[in-house]
Structures are given as C-alpha cells and as structure tokens.
Amino acid sequence: MEAKHPITIEKRLVLKAQLQNVWNAIGTQEGFEGWFLTKVEGQWKVGETVTLRWASGNANDIILTTIDEPIAFAFRWHPGDYAKLSDFPLSELTTVTMTLRETEIGIELNLTESGFENLSDERRSKALGLNSEGWDEELENIRKYVEG
C-alpha cells in the first residue's frame, strides 16, 4: 500500500491584542461563539463532542482534543460542508490546531488543519477549497473580535 503524503492547510495571523484576550477568543466557549458566529451545544472540555449550531439551522459536530491555556486549542471534525460525526467515517476527521505565541509585534496565531489525505478522493478537493477559504474568513473574524 502506498504511503499517503500529509495534506494540510496552514494559516498565520499576527494580532495587536493581549495574549489572554486572544486565548479567550479561541479557547473558551464564549469567545469561540463570538467570532465563529455559532452557538455551541455541549460541555466545553477535552474529550467531549460539542455541536456547533449555525443561525441557518445547520450543524457541525467537533471533538475537543486540546485546551492548553494560553498556548494551544485543537479539535477534530469533518471538513467541508456541515456534518455530524456520523455522516462520514471517523477516519476522515481532520484536526484543526490553533497555537499562540507572543512576539514583538503582537500575538502570532498559527492555524493548521491536517488530515485531508485521509478523505475520500471525491471529498478532498472540495473540502480543501471550502476550508482554506473559510479559514481566511474566520481569521479575519478573530482579528475583528480581539482588536475591536
């Protein structure tokens, strides 16, 4: 069997804000709801599955995998269109990781979404396109949320 090469989305953003404010935006339920423009249903703790409920009525399930204040936050989900965990094989989940680092010019937020190589061929291209563009929009939402 041929080895799969990792396929990852990588984004970087420098924010003119305090580290704690950026952490509160990405790593807390209230902050996440504020910039991701969704309602979170469930317990916001590592190992839990929560549902992101959109104003449209659509939903995504995510599994919270890392909440390491104030450095890293991560979750797993089905990328692309709205999806519950049961909609596709769990082997096709991607991992979204956000890490924070203080720099001289502000707080550097690095976002990666990895695991696209595990998606079926028919889903991969669409999911990569939707999520790459989507993360550009969401990072701008984070900027507006923390910088005012």
In DSSP notation, the chain reads -PPPPP-EEEEEEEESS-HHHHHHHHHSHHHHHHHHT-EEES--STT-EEEEE-TTS-EEEEEEEEEETTTEEEEEE--SS---GGGS-GGG-EEEEEEEEEETTEEEEEEEEE-GGGS-HHHHHHHHHHHHHHHHHHHHHHHHHHH-
Domain-located, residue 148: no
The CATH number covering residue 17 comes to: 3.30.530.20
Domain-located, residue 110: yes
Give the pLDDT score at 122: 87
Domain-located, residue 3: no
Give the pLDDT score at 137: 96
Q: State the residue range of the domain holding 133.
A: 8-143
Give the pLDDT score at 124: 94
pTM: 0.95
Domain-located, residue 27: yes
Domain-located, residue 1: no
Using one digit for the tens of pLDDT, what is the confidence trace for 39-61?
Answer: 999 999 999 999 999 989 999 99
* pLDDT above 70 for 3: no
* pLDDT above 80 for 2: no
Report the domain count for the chain.
Answer: 1
